[in-house]
Amino acid sequence: MESKKFLLQEKDIPTAWYNIVADMENKPLPPLDPATRQPLNPEALYPLLAEKLVQQEINMTDQWIEIPDEVRNLYKQWRPTPLVRANGLEKALDTPAHIYFKNESVSPVGSHKLNSALAQAYYCKQDGLTNITTETGAGQWGAAMAYAARAFGLELAVYMVKISYEQKPYRRSIMQTFGAQVIASPSMSTKAGRKILTENPTYMGSLGTAISEAVELALQTPNCKYVLGSVLNHVMLHQTVIGLEAEKQMEMAGEYPDVIVACFGGGSNFSGISFPFLRHNIKDGKTARIIAAEPSSCPKLTRGIFQYDFGDEVGYTPFIPMYTLGHTFAPPHIHAGGLRYHGAGSIVSQLKKDNLIEATDIKQLDAFKAAVLFANTESIIPAPESSHAIAAVIKEAEQAKIEGKQKTILFNLSGHGLIDMAAYDSYFAGDLLNYEMTDADLAKSIDTLEQII
């Protein structure tokens, strides 16, 4: 348990986010207007998203985008976050690998999500808005957004995936503590929700449905826009503070990562930790392997197809170029709610297509087994999402042992699991299953996709 920490000071918080698109040889394909099938005019997004965020979304030229002082000052409440050498875990695995993790669980809401939530609330306030809407799966994004909305004096309505609303009541309580209104999705309050409930009255919801509802409410409410916690380019951008800090901390440790791992829902914490290092792969000839750990039950990067698809279930968003399981894919109700999303962001999808990153899939029971080992060796109870990264790291460390080779592994601990103990309870009770998707299951939703490219 004598794990060593590498700590930075307030002045070391990055002053700019890193925009990897500027350095990509093959840029992500543009989003398409579903009506015309032509590249979307960015101004078409202004009714939905804060203007500054749309500009960040489409910025392909500026490597560095300055972090506003107001946002950077709020980051100081918990940033810089620690980098930790996982000595305890290394010892338990008896591996020659050196394992480091960036601890994003120390934020006031317990996950990395606040890095983007504060930035998005700031730009919404700048746009003169009074209200914002969003969706949340397991509740981490909603909690972060509720905190950020409060910080900038905005009213927030959150559509929360119904299964999580019922399984994770305490995240709902956190959102309510910060003054947000929380609605279980699918709900009868929107056309999208009513349509889904009419077809399937017992549907327990998905991120895609909740997005449809939040978008619909934003478009119908004056002075109101929508914010999203993953998938979009500007979210990946804001999260790069994670990797930029980690870069300095790895230097303090006197090492450079050979392997970088993060769990993967829509890609924000993965992008956050990895893009600053991928920059050196692209520009300086470094060769770090970068691995996304996704759940076997929702395997968009390992088994999905690269295709234009909707970001939501009903089809309100533009067509986004992505690795997808099809927007109608309803993932099994695994406990890592934050990883239950049918697609991947367009930057990460392009990087995967160009083989600049890798992906691996992790079974639910392996994730929890890894979580318990991590808790007992590093004294932090990880979020079920983050546990997928830990399981992937353990595989790498075991491989290093077999090969008898030292390698340096860095992973992102995207959040703690203290509000997910019901999931741990189910695991200890033996109630959790592994969900393997059959090819037929996958084909069912993928085959409904229209061929656009």
Residues within the interface to ligand PLP (CB under 6 A): 111, 113, 140-141, 230, 263-270, 338-339, 383, 385-386, 414-415
Least Å distance between CB 158 and ligand PLP? 14
Looking at beta carbons only, is 269 or 377 nearer to ligand PLP?
A: 269
Query: How far is the C-alpha of 87 from the C-alpha of 74, rounded, in Å?
Result: 31
Tell me: cis bond preceding 39? Omega within 30 of 0 counts.
no
Query: How far is the C-alpha of 108 from the C-alpha of 176, rounded, in Å?
Result: 15
Residue 301's φ and ψ, nearest 5 degrees, are: -80, -35
Looking at beta carbons only, is 95 or 414 nearer to ligand PLP?
A: 414
Copy the structure tokens of residue 101. Answer: 């993790």
Looking at beta carbons only, is 266 or 304 nearer to ligand PLP?
A: 266
Q: Provide the 3-class DSSP secondary structure of residue 98.
A: strand
Least Å distance between CB 422 and ligand PLP? 16
Looking at beta carbons only, is 224 or 393 nearer to ligand PLP?
A: 393
Q: What is the DSSP string of 312-335?
A: SSSS-SPEEEEEES-TT------S
Looking at beta carbons only, is 269 or 296 nearer to ligand PLP?
A: 269
Looking at beta carbons only, is 113 or 234 nearer to ligand PLP?
A: 113
Least Å distance between CB 447 and ligand PLP? 26
Residue 161's φ and ψ, nearest 5 degrees, are: -50, 125
Query: How far is the C-alpha of 216 from the C-alpha of 383, rounded, in Å?
Result: 30
Least Å distance between CB 160 and ligand PLP? 13
Looking at beta carbons only, is 129 or 334 nearer to ligand PLP?
A: 334
Query: How far is the C-alpha of 325 from the C-alpha of 303, rounded, in Å?
Result: 8
Spatial CA neighbour of 322 closest among 338, 335, 309: 309
User: How distant is the alpha carbon of residue 279 from its chain centre?
Assistant: 20
Looking at beta carbons only, is 145 or 253 nearer to ligand PLP?
A: 145
Residue 140 burial by Cβ neighbours in a 10 Å radius (0-12, 13-18, 19+): buried
Relative to beta strand 83-85, strand 4-6 is antiparallel
Query: How far is the C-alpha of 149 from the C-alpha of 54, rounded, in Å?
Result: 19
Q: Where are the alpha helices (DSSP H) in 404-438?
A: 421-428
Least Å distance between CB 443 and ligand PLP? 25
Least Å distance between CB 418 and ligand PLP? 11
Least Å distance between CB 240 and ligand PLP? 13
Least Å distance between CB 14 and ligand PLP? 18
